[in-house]
Amino acid sequence: MKKKLYLAHPISGLSGKEIFSYFDNAKDKLKDYYDILSPMTGKNYLRNIDMAKPSGYTHPISNNHAIFQRDTWMVSQSDIVFCDFTGVEKISIGCCMELAIASWLNKHTIVVMDKNNIHNHAFILEAADIVFETYEEGFNYLVELGE
């Protein structure tokens, strides 16, 4: 039985194309090793948005309460949480919350960010079991862990 992997990556401020490109690409590369969970699962209707906002959606799957509850549930169901902060210029409160919940639930938490990343903070560093500086390092670790 494959382990469950939750993918966390900043969403707010990105276009639907950018968001789904990231998650679809990661899922395609990791699906042989893990059952993949992500905040965009079941949200194909957001593929064509111009820019994701941090709150205020009215769709039953995307209202504030549904986002928080479902993502929390997905994190709780996962074995591993992979939080990728590479190339991010704004703080992602959603990813920080997902990482905090994962750490609290004793999930294996993997963070990717360089030393100058805006998320380089004591809480993130302590919530992460492992911090890699590059996506490739984190990705290679996930593959090795999943084999």
Tell me the one-letter amino acid at 51.
Answer: M
Q: Does residue 78 come out as left (phi exceeding 0), alpha (psi in the -120 to 50 range) or beta?
A: beta
Instruction: List, in order of start, the domains of the chain with CATH numbers.
Output: 3-43+59-146 (3.40.50.450)
Place of tokens 């990791």: 30
Write out pLDDT tens, residues 68-116: 999 999 999 999 999 999 999 899 999 999 999 999 999 999 999 999 9
φ and ψ at residue 129, rounded to 5 degrees: -70, -40
Q: Kindly indicate the confidence band of residue 132, based on its pLDDT and cuts at 50, 70 and 90.
A: very high
The two tokens of residue 24 are 């679809």
Strands 130-132 and 108-112: parallel
Task: Give CA–CA dist 129/144, Å, rounded.
Answer: 16
Dihedral of the alpha carbons of 111, 112, 116, 122, in degrees to the nearest 10: 0
pLDDT, tens digit, for every residue of 37-69?
999 999 999 999 999 999 999 999 999 999 999
The CA distance from 125 to 75, in Å, is: 18
